[in-house]
Structure 1
Amino acid sequence: MNKVDSPIGVFDSGVGGISTLKVLATMLPHEDFVFFGDSGNAPYGEKRREEVQRLTDNAVQKLLKHHIKGMVIACNTATSAAKPMLIERYPDLTIVGIEPALKEAVDNGARNILVMATPLTLAMPKFQKQLHLFSGERHIETLPCSGLAGLIECGAQRLDDVRDLLRRLLSTTSGTRFDAVVLGCTHYPFVKKLIADYIPSQPRFYTGYEGLTRHLTHLLGDAKLLRTSNPDRHIEFLSSSVNPHETDLYRELFTSSFESSTQFGRPYTYLSISHE
């Protein structure tokens, strides 16, 4: 395969990365994608850093078998824990990773900011450095959301539990009228409306997906690896889950926002792999 025509790999610890894939697929309309969700090992946010690094490297190995030309780590925890290691280990692969969009919120003038993320993401030195940099005249609160990604991973059947957990988590904040909420886990955008129900100040939400996609586009463009046409577009979904319906969930979450879009009418290739 011509490297230009190779797909872009997208990886997450589970279903959360589908929210990133939606933006990537919209802003890069001529590219093929291979998405791997490590739902068999989700969630990552409460694991040890070394375990996250091992699982993330395993995901890269799986995606490399599909001859990917670039890699998107659509998991804040995996980006924080493993991206530097991956860049050193795979110097010939273009690698970008999603990070909490705190800078984006600050650049847009937000003064009272809530950052929702997994415990490991919030504890990593890179985020702590950014938090220290932007604090001061701004009010920035962090909210470790233990268990939230795991519940979202279960789909609609745990929706009531998601509501209960969000209510408990958000009741622990200071009561500040937040004008910005940074969703520092790719699972969280799927329940953004539920989060908004418990924050009466109607804040603006930040994910960082558009900036991530622009950065990837710039890197692939510099490497002359961007496609300019693709009449037979393919998006593959892979999962490590033993649940045979896991990729059906991936497909449902992905296509839900594209049902009226002709560019996503067909084709897709849906592929499931067994848990190893």
Structure 2
Amino acid sequence: MSNEAPIGFFDSGVGGTSIWKEVIQLLPNEKTIYLADSKNAPYGERPVEEIIALSKKNTDKLLEMGCKLIVVACNTATTNAIEYLRANYHLPFIGIEPALKPAALKSQTKVIGILATKGTLSSKLFHQTSELYSRDIKIVEVVGQGLVRLIERGEHNTFEMEILLRQLLKPMLEAHIDYLVLGCSHYPYLMPVLKKIFPPDVTIIDSGEAVARQTKKVLEENHLQNQGDKGPGHKLFSNVDPKVLGLLTNAALNNYEVSYLEF
């Protein structure tokens, strides 16, 4: 595998670009290919077998496009399918899990919240992580029903979104959480609205920086860093209208290639 090959990313839509942004910021020499499987979003409401099949489809497409490493930029796909992917493909995979550990270790109130999809919260991997860090911590779990669909339409900072979030997050406000863990890669795009809803002493955390650091580490361990002096290239594809994908990534400003692709 060539060191100049791109890093691949996939998500059930545009949300994983929150992870992609962290990776390209930390690794400016790397080329990337991003697949937004918006046609099948959200993964969080699908059965495990279907999530695995969709993850396999995305992986096959990224391998066809010559990727050297794949970031599963989707919590639901990671918690339900990454074990299968690692067992059946011979290249490194980076997953994304809710950042429960730092929230549980730093919480002063010993009450933390996690906002995630049904597919993530019901997964075996999430339950294992939750049991590990929740011995003396109360975790208020909320399924973000309807959030991904609004974000996929570019309606992440709207009055409708604020009303929905206030309804969903009421149990967390009543429980006086001091940490909110975002358990879906779409949800960092809700940060402006979340900061309006929660008091300033609630810390909101996601996994983006940690995933970027892990990607860098795995590239180094496998001697896959791009040492070339050619500028990086970033290609982002959506299997629906790529307009929202382009807007969220500021493609017009940064000259990223954003286009439609059937996959």
Question: SS of the residue aligned with 2:172?
Answer: coil
Pairwise CA RMSD: 2.0
The structure with higher relative contact order (CA 8 Å, sep 6+) is 2
Q: CA deviation at 1:251?
A: 2.3
* Unmatched runs of 5 consecutive residues or more in structure 2: none
Distance 1:109 1:168 in 2: 24
Equivalent residue number for residue 101 of structure 1 = 99
Q: CA deviation at 1:101?
A: 0.6
Equivalent residue number for residue 262 of structure 1 = none
Q: CA deviation at 1:174?
A: 5.9
CA deviation string 1:98-130 (max 9, x = no partner): 110101222444532110000110011221122
Distance 1:174 1:123 in 2: 23
* Unmatched runs of 5 consecutive residues or more in structure 1: 260-264
CA deviation string 1:75-111 (max 9, x = no partner): 0000011100000110x21101111010122244453
Residue identity matched to 2:104:
V
Distance 2:144 2:78 in 1: 18
Residue identity matched to 2:247:
E
Question: 2:252 aligned with 1:269, yes or no?
Answer: no
Distance 1:127 1:10 in 2: 21
Aligned length: 262
Distance 2:233 2:159 in 1: 35
Question: SS of the residue aligned with 2:214?
Answer: helix
Correspondences of 1:1-276 after superposition (within 5 Å): 3-90=2-89, 92-109=90-107, 111-156=110-155, 159-173=158-172, 175-241=174-240, 243=241, 246=242, 248-255=243-250, 265-266=254-255, 268-274=256-262
TM-score, normalised with respect to structure 2: 0.93
Higher mean alpha-carbon deviation, 172-181 vs 30-39, is at: 172-181
Distance 1:99 1:88 in 2: 19
Distance 1:78 1:13 in 2: 8
Distance 2:157 2:247 in 1: 16
Question: SS of the residue aligned with 1:238?
Answer: strand
Moved >4 Å (runs of 4+): none
Distance 2:238 2:163 in 1: 28
Contact persistence 1:105–1:180 (CA under 8 A): yes
